[in-house]
Every structure is written in C-alpha cells, then in structure tokens.
Amino acid sequence: MIELRDLKKEYIEQETSTLALQGVTFSIKKGEFVSIMGPSGSGKSTLLHILSFLDRPTGGEYTFLGKSIDEMDDHELAHVRNKAMGFVFQSFNLLSRLTVYDNVEIPLLYSDLPANERARHITEAVRSVGLEEKLHTEAGRLSGGQKQRVAIARALVADPDVIFADEPTGNLDSKSGLQVMEILDGLHKKGRTIILVTHETQTAEFANRIIFIRDGVVESDKPVEKHGPVKTLK
C-alpha cells in the first residue's frame, strides 16, 4: 500500500537548511498496524504529514496504492486524501455545537451517496465505536474518550484504505486511552490498515510493528512481541 524509498524533506529558512528527513525507506502492506515513534524533533511529524499528503518530500519517492505522488497534482492529492485516508487527531478536531451524527457526516458531505445510504454509513460507524445512544448529542457535551471515539467513527465513515492516528491517547486518561486503543486494535483485526504516531511505548505496542525515527532516519523497524492483552495504559 505504501512504499518509501530514500525519502527526504528539507526546510530552508533565512538561508539556513534543515534536513528533517534524511533518507527514509520502508513499506507498509494493506492490513498492517504500524506505530511510528521517535523523540521530539525526530522527524515523525514531518513523516506523518508526507504520508497523509499534507506535505510533499523534497527528495526520494513515495508510492501510495501503486502510484507515485510525483505523478499527482495538488487537486488529485486532495481527492485521494479525502477518499482513501481517515484521520484521528490528539485534539479530536470535532465541531462542539454539532451533534455526533453531524460530525461523523463531514467526510461524506461531498460524496454522491444518497441520503438514506449516507445515514446508514453514519449510524454504522457510530455503532462500531459504541456510541449509538449519543448519535444526536452535541459533541461538546461528550467526555474526552467519547470525543475520540467519535473521531474514530468520522475516520471510518468513508471506508478509507488507511487510518492515520496522531497521538490519539495524548489528551485522555488511562482508561479512556485504553478504550480508544482497543477500538483501533479491533479495527485492525477486521482488516483495517492503521498507522499510529505516538511517544507512548505501551500505546505503540498495540501495533504489530514499530518504526523508530531519530534525527530524520529510521533507527529501527521491528515486529512487536505480543505477551497477552495490554490491560493498562500509563
């Protein structure tokens, strides 16, 4: 699904050059659950922005679903991003005065789905995160954990090829964080491709593979050794 070859990203500011990514190479297959870790300033956020089409590399090659992003203009990148990618953010990015239903509907607003099909997709997505009883509740009235579950439903509703989760437990207590990770784990077990960016080791270990980034390069890329279910998140 995703293939990076010698990917580079250079930022130039006031004649000063900074290499945020210095030749990153790896691939991610359909159905994988991969965590990307690294200290602050390691390049993991830059990498996520490129993977999710929010930015372009300045060197190397990025192929998504068999097509190089060099072959896509900005309009096509935006189209693929809206259709093939779902997003879960640390800060939820919900509209507080809209209901759960209306927030989850947002990715479908420009689709050509008829109204009854759209409603079915929204209801199924909300049900999949266990919040059907909150369907018509304003998002601002929900707890942090519930807001993140709504964000997962919104990421799912358009049936994307890959879900990007950027520090999804960062603003949650341990119990809510565990619930969110169990939902993502369940989606992976149903065949979803998930790419998680986190600084928390216990959160990262829900994945089957951890890619560790430091100083703009891949320091390690290893499978996760499973030792039974994770019961707490510290």
| pLDDT tens per residue, range 18-77 | 899 999 999 999 999 999 999 988 999 999 999 999 999 999 999 999 999 999 999 999
Low-confidence ranges of the chain (pLDDT < 50): 230-231, 234
The pLDDT value given to residue 225: 86
The pLDDT value given to residue 162: 96
Residue 174: count of CB within 10 angstroms of its CB: 12
Give residues with Cβ within 8 angstroms of 97, minimum separation 6. 138, 139, 140
DSSP label at residue 80: H
Question: Which residues lie across from 37 on neighbouring strands?
Answer: 212
- Chain position carrying tokens 């520090």: 167
54: its two tokens: 């929010």
The pLDDT value given to residue 234: 45
The pLDDT value given to residue 233: 52
Helices (H), the chain: 44-51, 74-84, 100-105, 115-128, 144-156, 174-189, 201-204
- Chain position carrying tokens 């266990």: 130
Q: How far apart are CA 153 and CA 231, in angstroms?
A: 23
The pLDDT value given to residue 58: 96
The pLDDT value given to residue 24: 97
231: its two tokens: 């019961």
Q: How far apart are CA 137 and CA 98, in angstroms?
A: 8
Q: How far apart are CA 62 and CA 43, in angstroms?
A: 16
